[in-house]
Every structure is written in structure tokens, then in C-alpha cells.
Amino acid sequence: MLTANEGRYQLTVANATGVTLNDNNDSDAQVSTISAISAPVISVTTSYLGSVDHSFDVGFYCLPTAVSSVSVTAPTCPASSIVANDDGRIDLTGIQNGNKTFLYTTSIPPAYTATANSQTVVNGSVSYTDLANPTSTSGTSYSIIIYNGPCCYTIVSAVLPQNTCIPALALSVTPGVCQTLTNEYTLTGTISLTNAITDTMILTDGTATTTVSVIVGMTSVPYSLPGLPSGTGLHSLSVSYAGQAISQTYTAPLSCTVAADVAVSNAVVCAGESAVLTASGCELGTITWSVGTTPSSGSSVSVSTLILAGITSPTELNFIATCTIGNSVTTAVASLTVNPKPTLEKITSVCAGPDAYTIILTGELSTTPGSLTYELVRGSSFGAGTPITAGKTPLPANGILVPLQQAGLYWVRVYTETDCYSELSGEVQVCDCLPDKCVPFVIQRIRR
């Protein structure tokens, strides 16, 4: 093989003859080994001097250029964009008898001496990288010329395909069953993806919306859209993602509303005490109450009447309980009657002798409606003391209680006809005057 001007050549056939073959393009020389050197050799047998005119020629032809493989790699898609990268490539491997290549799209190949888009063959391979994504859906047609020196070459072709990088979506929808508690259903399904990029998917059904995160390379994502109202007929689920939008219609499940129902209990308490209000019949829903209850929702709430401690006549308060089940709402009114307590001021004791005492109860007794009764107890507390009266005893209008024979701490409770009571305590001091010498007297405050 002869290498000249970066080309590779081989000897032609020896002593060729024929129409296009003659003594001027054959090879009188043939490869032989002389003195351990292999080289083209012409063997000549001569006669005597001047008797033969010898003419010799050596013919060479270009060794054929061959390519084992031409591979094409389409441009890739970025992780979070629908515009393809300009990173397409064409690789040629297994190149034989080639030293320089050019990539071109014109009809005339570049000359051997050109420099643009030129690649030197290294270890039988060349690569053209960072090729732009084709603007045509049919791709870009490239030609690659492989030179074997300046005179010989072969040409191969390749088509770089276009990559759109635009995701393709396919949507499935499955409406769930109606929930009796809320009369709502949940829409579920799967979105199939092609060319997925990293982006956020937005799903909308009427006023309901949700988002789904998509990562590059995903082929499908599940979704769930809760809180949709049943019995609302035809719906449309819309999906927006990476500049693409699709939608699909479906029919919502039939309504399964349970009619709301609630019943309340009325209560009666004495002024200043707490009352408990209860509601029932709303087991599948939520009960809320009007202002003034603690807490503001639930089947059982309390009401404080502390601000009504000074009332002198019965007072009625109303509280509204609201039962809500889905779209169904109903109410009931609970009545709370607050009865007054007797107004007591103080206990005064009168001494009529060592074993004769009288307790006088003062207060606004005449302003309390109905008749009053009282209980009197001697001891450390009303509950732990010794009863003086036999149960509830009518209270005289003048407030003078039953006569006493012992000094000590006394407790008195005064009851209204509704059994509301007020309680006072007073200390009766020991009196040492003789019975015939003591003159009872009482000092009372008279209201003006």
C-alpha cells in the first residue's frame, strides 16, 4: 500500500491488457521482499549493451473507503421545557481507508481542502455532535463525505429526526359513589403521559381544583378531586399541563342527601347557675348553636346565667340549634327559663336571756314573687349542721325565724316557689342577762 498526499493506494494488476487497460496503467512492479524489505520490485533480464530499450511503469489505484456503521441520535428533551435541546448527533464507526470527513446539507460536497464541518478520522471513527433540532417534522437530511486523500472518497447519508418534546396526555375519569353525610363524591383517575417534563398539572372541575406534580420521564400519574356535589348532572374535567390542555366529560352520581332533623331539650335553672342544652337527631350531620353557648357546636352545650343573678322575675332565653347534613339544613329553638333567687342582706340576732335567742332575717323579701320558705341549720356549714327547722318552713313577712335556745353559728336558706334559694350565715353570741332583766330590742334598716 502506498500512502501519498494523505491518500492510500494499491498497486494495479501486473501487465494488464484490455479495452481500458494498457501498458501505461498497469504495474510492471510487484511487491517482493529483498534484504528483508517488502517493496514494489521490477525484475529485468538484459542482453548486451544497447540491444534493448526498456520501458517500465508502475500503476496505483485508490483503496476503497468503507463505513461499518452510521448511527443517528435525535436531540433530547430538557427536564422542564418543551423546546428540544440542540444536541443531536451522527456517529460513523468502522471507517476504512478514510482520513477526513465533512458533514453537509448542500448538493455539492465540500472540497478536500475545506475546513468547515470537517472531522479527522481517529481510530476509524468520527462524530458530529450538537446538531440542531430539525424544524421540519420529516427531519434534516445530512450527507457525510469520507475522503481517502484528495482524490478519492465515498459518500454516506443520514436523516436526523425532529423531536417535538411536546407532552401527550390521555385522561381517564372515575366518579366515586355519593357520600350520604355530605352528598358529595370524589373523582379519581389516571393521566397517561408521553414526553413528560417536570411541571405542575392543574385539574379543574367546576369550582373545584387540584394540582399534581409531574417529574420528567413519568408515564402516568394518578389524581383525586374530592368534595364534588352529587346530583349535578354532566361535568367536565379539564387538565392543563406544559402548555397542553385536554378535557373529558362525565356524569356525576345521583344525589344521596339525607334530610336534616334535630330536636332540642328545654331547661330551667336558677339565676347565676349554668344550664345544659341538648340536641339530638342529627347524627349524620353537624350541630351549631346561636351565640351564648359553650362550645358553639355539638349535641350538648352549656349556658351561663351569671349576668342574670340579680333578676327579680322569671326570664326566658332562646337558643337556636342548627343541623346541617350536606346541603340540607334545619333548626330548632331551645328555651331556657331563668328563675330569680331571694335577695338576702344579713342575719340579726336578738337576746332575750341566756337560753332565749331570736334570728331576724333582713333583705328585699317583699320583691320576690310568691311565698317563701326557709330552712335553719346550726353548725359549721349548711350541709354538715344540725337542722333546727323540720324541713322547709313558711317565712314570716317580718323575717323573724323560730326561737332559739343556743348560741352558735347558724345557716339559713330561703327558697322561692321554684325552689331557687339564697343562703346566709350568722353568729349568735352568748347572752348572760337574766330572763327578768333582759329587754328584747331589734334594730332594722327600713328602705326608703
Contacts of residue 107, Cβ cutoff 8 Å, sequence gap at least 6: none
Instruction: Tally the domains of the chain.
Output: 4
Point out the domain boundary residue: 322, 339, 356.
339
Category of 239 on φ-ψ map: left (φ > 0), alpha (ψ -120 to 50) or beta: beta
Q: In the chain, how long is the greatest CA-to-CA distance?
A: 199
Q: Is residue 439 part of a domain?
A: no
Across 24-33, 226-235, 266-275, least confident range:
24-33
Across all residues in the chain, what is the average pLDDT?
86
Q: Are residues 201 and 215 in the same domain?
A: yes
> What gap in Å lies between CA 91 and CA 126, rounded to an integer?
6
pLDDT grade for 261, boundaries at 50, 70 and 90: confident
d(CA 339, CA 368): 11
pLDDT of residue 17: 62
Instruction: Assess if residue 231 is contained within a domain.
Output: yes
**Which CATH number is 348's domain given?**
2.60.40.10
What's the pLDDT at 448? 27
* 267 and 227 in a common domain: no
Q: Of residues 296 and 25, which shows the higher confidence score?
A: 296
Residues 417 and 383 in one domain: yes
On whether both 363 and 349 belong to a single domain, the answer is yes
- Residues 139, 210: one domain? no
Cβ contact 209:236 at 8 Å: no
Residues 335 and 360 in one domain: no
- Is 440 contained in some domain? no
- Regarding whether 291 and 243 lie in a shared domain, the answer is no
pLDDT at 363: 75
Query: Of 320, 339, 358, which one is at a domain's C-terminal end?
Result: 339
Residue 155 domain flag: yes
Domain boundary among 160, 186, 210: 160
Residue 349 corresponds to which cell in the numbers above?
340576732
The answer to whether 189 and 226 have CB atoms below 8 angstroms apart is no
Mean pLDDT within 122-131: 95
For position 219, what pLDDT does the model report?
95
Q: What are phi and psi of 112, to 5 degrees?
A: -60, -30
- The residue range of the domain holding 195 is 169-251
Check whether residue 81 and residue 147 sit in a common domain: yes
The model's pLDDT over 366-397, given as tens digits with 9 standing for 90+, comes to 556 668 999 999 999 999 999 999 989 998 88
C-alpha 70/C-alpha 128 separation (Å) is: 11
pLDDT band at 303 (very low <50, low <70, confident <90, very high): very high
Q: Mind giving me the DSSP string for 193-252?
A: EES--SEEEEEEETTEEEEEEE-TT--EEEEEEEEEETT--EEEEEEEETTEEEEEEEEP
Separation between Cα atoms, residue 109 and residue 182, nearest integer Å: 75
Residues 267 and 308 in one domain: yes
Interatomic CA distance for residues 192 and 244, integer angstroms: 13
Integer distance in angstroms from the first to the last C-alpha of the chain?
A: 144
Task: Compute CA 274 distance to the chain's CA centroid, rounded to the nearest angstrom.
Answer: 44
The β-bridge partners of 324 are 286, 329
- Give yes or no: residues 74 and 95 share one domain: yes
Q: Which residues contact 62 (CB under 8 A, 6 or more apart)?
A: 7, 8, 9, 10, 97, 148, 149, 151, 152
Could you give the 3-state DSSP secondary structure of residue 442?
Answer: coil
For residue range 43-100, list pLDDT tens digits in order: 766 666 666 666 667 666 678 888 999 999 999 989 888 899 999 999 999 999 989 9
In a domain? residue 256: no
Establish if 39 belongs to a structural domain: no
* Residue pointed to by grid coordinates 392543563: 240
Q: Does one domain contain both 377 and 317?
A: no
CATH number for 140: 2.60.40
- Residue 257 belongs to a domain: no
Partnered with residue 30 across adjacent β-strands are 41
β 267-270/328-339 pair status: parallel
Query: Does one domain contain both 79 and 113?
Result: yes
Confidence of residue 141 (pLDDT cuts 50, 70, 90): very high
Which comes out higher in pLDDT, residue 4 or 416? 416
pLDDT at residue 444 in the model:
39
Residue 59 lies in a domain: no
